[in-house]
Amino acid sequence: MKILNRLLNNCRESDRQIGIELGISGGAVRARIQKMQAKNIIEEFFIKVEPLVLGYGILYFVVSGENIKEILEQASLVGEPYFVVPCVGGITVCGISIKENMNQKIELAKKLMKDIRVLSIFEAENPGFSSNLTKTDLEILEELIKNPRQKIERIARNTGMSTKTITRCLEKLHENDGIQFTLVYDPRKIENFIPHVILAWIEGDLKETLESLNDSFSESYLQIPFIAKNQIVLFMYSDNIFKMDEVTQKVRNIKNIKSVDLFIPKKISFYIKWIEKAIKNFKKSPKLHLIYQTN
């Protein structure tokens, strides 16, 4: 779980470095990663790009039902799928990337998604992501989508760029909070632990609340918390449902937390068609930089 934690937060971290942090050899880390891949716990390494980084909005749907095909067919009427997560209890959470006219798309979604019981639709609060990506950055990003763990030398060879350019771009991407080198895992294949997500709605000082959560729960984190304007998303794991419920109650009692929702994912799917389309469109543009900043 500790190796999985590190790869989820930065899948480009070397086996050797992870081994140093955990007090084991790089070879032992590599063997455990291969074992997790063989068991399909690790499905693929992935570079997650928040739609806001590329100038897209994101609309979240919480729906009753697990018919992914039907949900995507309905959601695609307003935008491109970003992620879909069916959860225990017959609830599915999905994110849809939307290029423009967000308010119109929300109203359109409410009218069109009549065949699905929609429990909640809301626009993502601007979390303060900013980017100043160049066409070179996007070409490298396009290559990283294929395999985010590629060695710098291979990326340079495949893109025809220098290793210096690749290194500089990777540093830039790592510094962007809206871009994460991570992986996709299958929660059902993890034995002895239950991955779960706690969505905390904040009413008060976000930084103070996050520090309180880190002080109390960092040992239970599966990933670094995701922060939005008035939300903190906690990716956690417990070894039984009673501890999971206990942790959820403790989170609910933290100062500044207005309410919490608990989700237990059964499957996690990310989609990259919208990223490929965004990169393709920008490469046709005469602009040298894609500049987008949330307020």
Task: Read off the CATH number of the domain in which 215 is found.
Answer: 3.30.70.260
Strand pairing report for 226-227 and 80-87: unpaired
Over the stretch 211-240, which tens digit does the pLDDT of each residue have? 999 999 999 999 999 886 688 999 999 999
- Looking at the domain assignment, is residue 253 inside a domain? yes
- Looking at the domain assignment, is residue 214 inside a domain? yes
Over the stretch 143-197, which tens digit does the pLDDT of each residue have? 999 999 999 999 999 999 999 999 999 999 999 888 999 999 999 999 999 999 9
Burial of 173 (0-12, 13-18, 19+ CB in 10 A): buried
Find the domain containing 27 and state its range.
2-38
- Looking at the domain assignment, is residue 170 inside a domain? no
The CA distances from residue 20 to 13, 74, 89, 233, in Å, are 11, 47, 40, 29
- Looking at the domain assignment, is residue 18 inside a domain? yes
User: Are 261 and 199 in contact, with CB atoms under 8 Å apart?
Assistant: yes
Can you give the pLDDT at residue 125?
Answer: 62
Can you give the pLDDT at residue 64?
Answer: 86
Burial of 68 (0-12, 13-18, 19+ CB in 10 A): middle
- Looking at the domain assignment, is residue 46 inside a domain? no
Q: State if pTM tops 0.85.
A: yes
- Left if phi > 0, otherwise alpha if psi is -120 to 50, otherwise beta: which for 62? beta
User: Are 47 and 181 in contact, with CB atoms under 8 Å apart?
Assistant: yes
Can you give the pLDDT at residue 199?
Answer: 92
User: Are 255 and 241 in contact, with CB atoms under 8 Å apart?
Assistant: no
- Looking at the domain assignment, is residue 63 inside a domain? no
Residue 125 CA to residue 139 CA, distance in Å, equals 28
Domain tally, the chain: 2
- Looking at the domain assignment, is residue 246 inside a domain? yes
Residue ranges for the chain with pLDDT beneath 70: 102, 109-116, 124-131, 228-229, 286-295
- Looking at the domain assignment, is residue 75 inside a domain? no
